[in-house]
Chains A and B, each alone.
Chain A
Amino acid sequence: MAQRGKRIRVLLSKVGVDVHDRGLKVIAAALRDAGMEVIYLGASRFQNEIVKAAEEEDVDVIGISSMEGMHHVKIPDLMKELNEKNIEAPVVCGGIIPLDEAKALKEQCGVSEVFPPGSSLKEIVEYFKRCGYE
């Protein structure tokens, strides 16, 4: 959690070996333009690397992008480990996540928000800001 007026630190990553990170890079650029500090892990990252980075970097928000449909396994697994390690930073997801699965991620796994395709950068940036200062 960042103090008001302090820079929000964000960790952005994909989980696993899915290479599609165009969307995630765009989010990184938009968050930086909005004054946030982005630690960009990007594509082909395993769960343990993300958890480790989240611990070490003491981030305020974690953003996870998914495209190839691995979210139904990988994101719940990641949430579990973050929980076990008491990492409290909210997790925001985006990408090609079908609506019913997005609902399950939020209600059952503790993902704070899922942004579907077509979400505007503005609303995403605003959401990260809110999360970062909460």
Chain B
Amino acid sequence: MSSIHVTAAVNGDPVEFLCQPEETLLDVLRDRLGLTGTKEGCGTGDCGSCSVTLDGRLVCACLVMGAEAEGRQIGTIEGMADGETLHPLQQKFLDHAALQCGICTPGFLIAAKALLEKNPDPTEEEVRYWLAGNLCRCTGYDKIIRAVMDTAEDMRKSNAS
């Protein structure tokens, strides 16, 4: 079976890979590109742990075919921190202890970042609806929601000053 040659950008860096037509973007990220920060939970778009952005749009990487990525911009958890400096959401997740096992965390962070870029001042209800497709089986959602709300407030203050 012939492989498909794909050229794309991941976190701003150009990447090239060969993949089989059946492979998902999640397979490609983890197994071809070695970017294992994006997690596989359900593999059917229900849990959100493989959340990435595709041309800026929040999607589940398990529901995107690898070959679809040709020419696209992909954003993953590996691109979230600026070197050793954590993204404000990452720091707040630590501050609020908004994670335990951590499998859902990259997905929550990517999804929350996409929300705050679209809506810097969300209500708690808006945060809960936006993140409804991200499932957590240990921490529970309250600390996660607090962390996102707290980050949004801090980011608004720092943007205003």
**A and B are interacting partners:** no
Interface residue ranges, B against A (CB under 8 Å): none
